[in-house]
Copies of this chain bind each other. A is one copy, B any other.
Amino acid sequence: MTASVSAARSTRGKLSSTVQDQQLAEITELFQNRRKGYSLEAPFYTDPSIFKVEMEAIFGTHWLFAASVAEVPEPGDYVTLDYGPHSLIVLRNDDGGVNVLHNVCRHRGARVLTENSGSTGNLVCGYHSWTYSPEGDLIHASSPGEIDFDKNCFALKRAHGRIVAGLIFVSIAAEPPTDFDEVSKIFEPYLAPHDLGSAKVAYQQDIIEEGNWKLVMENNRECYHCDGHPELACSLFPTWGLTDELVPPHLEEVWERNKNAQSALEERCRRYSLPYEVVEELDTRIAGIRISRESLDGDGESFSADGRRLSKKLLGDLRDFRLGRCSMHLQPNSWFHFQSDHVITFAAYPINEHQTLVRTTWLVADDAVEGQDYDLEKLTYTWKQTNLQDKAFVELCQTGAGSPAYQQGPYMKSEYQVEAFINWYTQRVLEHLA
């Protein structure tokens, strides 16, 4: 048993909430014996003990995307964030930063905030009215006769939060990994021109996929399946992830168009001093990242049927609609598309080993007026369709992984980012178990 699992056991109690020693040995062996270039063995997608390990080694350790500042624009605005057994409060504070608090009352363990989002002053537990400041300090517990009761001992447990380029990240680790500082410096210049601080939420969609969160991520990290996304393929080149030698015959024409559009986009980026180069460190650092600015098909502006803008208002300081998509992938569970007219953030929050919440948020310029500057149905159409298709793909795989006939299959070359995700994941868990 590793020290940290052991520590978790002593604070959290034992038995079903933790992983037994022998299981941990078997799990470690599974990780050590992973076959490179192949999908994971079935238990990675179906075993509740491995899920518990992940909740500690991945989701209990790393920085996770929680929301954009547009979701909590004012002091006191909050969202609650649930994944696995955790519930967090992410609350905008007076300093422009965020307070991150575990959403568990220190009196009898009740959920303190029960809504997905809202605005609040102090935090009042609905059960016995224990009242906490926005920083989590217990400031009131009606108990006139309690002599020995020291309120200082019962603050809400705190977690880490930070804002980078308008994106809010949280970590519940005691000491979050520090190389996120470097990664922040990488992606900040790409995102800054879109100025999320002056954006607003146009729509947010939560869907529950009946599949392990890693199947959600694997699906996100390749476009080999993009024939299954006819709406998306109108604007997103389905040649994404390919190189000259990997392009299949039926995509050769698209590939030419893609290359030409990419050259034009890069020229335009240089004109506006926008970074566009591919930075790809998906499995070569702790806070794995891929970021680049890539062209879109058709008019090259946005995720529409003809590639044309979906909102008439430019974001931030941008002066041109034809900027393709600045796309970012972060390990373990988020991805983003920044266009000149709107931004989409995606995150996969595991519920358990066979269910995942996928949250998609569409952001437009603060001054864009619905029905006038953008049509909400059109704005969200392509990715709503794509999300549903992806959900179906993930669920096909989850069912398959439950079958004794399942056997690890090979990742194709165009799926190298899937392999990178799995590499990253395996390394992080093995490091944690070490």
Q: Tell me the A residues contacting B by CB distance below 8 Å.
A: 8, 11-17, 23, 26-27, 30, 39, 41-43, 46-50, 55, 60, 85-87, 102-111, 114, 126-129, 141-146, 149, 154, 157, 218, 224-225, 227-228, 243, 245-249, 392-393, 396-397, 399-407, 409-410, 412-414
Contact = CB atoms under 8 A, between A and B. Distances in A.
Given A14-B30, A109-B400, A400-B109, A144 B43 contact: no
A403 B85 contact: yes
Contacts of A129: 227
Given A17-B46, A41-B13, A404-B12, A393 B26 contact: no
Given A86-B404, A154-B409, A403-B104, A128 B224 contact: yes
A80 to B, nearest CB: 11
Given A107-B412, A110-B400, A145-B246, 17 more contacts: A13-B42, A17-B404, A86-B404, A104-B403, A110-B396, A111-B400, A126-B392, A127-B397, A129-B227, A141-B412, A142-B224, A143-B412, A144-B249, A149-B412, A154-B410, A157-B405, A157-B407
B247 A144 contact: yes
Contacts of A107: 409-410, 412
Contacts of A105: 400, 409
Judged by DSSP, the binding face of A is loop
A78 B70 CA distance: 52
Nearest to A392: B126
A80 B412 CA distance: 28
A407 B49 contact: no
Contacts of A154: 409-410
Contact of A145 (B143, B228, B404, B413): B413
Contacts of A407: 11, 104, 106, 109, 157
A180 to B, nearest CB: 22
Interface centre among A104, A108, A406 (most CB of B within 10 A): A108
Nearest to A42: B13
Contacts of A403: 85-87, 102-104, 109
A410 B105 CA distance: 11
A357 to B, nearest CB: 16
A396 B218 CA distance: 34
A128 B17 contact: no
A218 B85 CA distance: 23
A104 B46 CA distance: 16
Nearest to A408: B109
13 contacts: A16-B47, A17-B46, A39-B108, A60-B404, A102-B403, A104-B400, A108-B218, A109-B407, A110-B397, A143-B246, A144-B247, A146-B412, A157-B405
A15 B39 contact: no
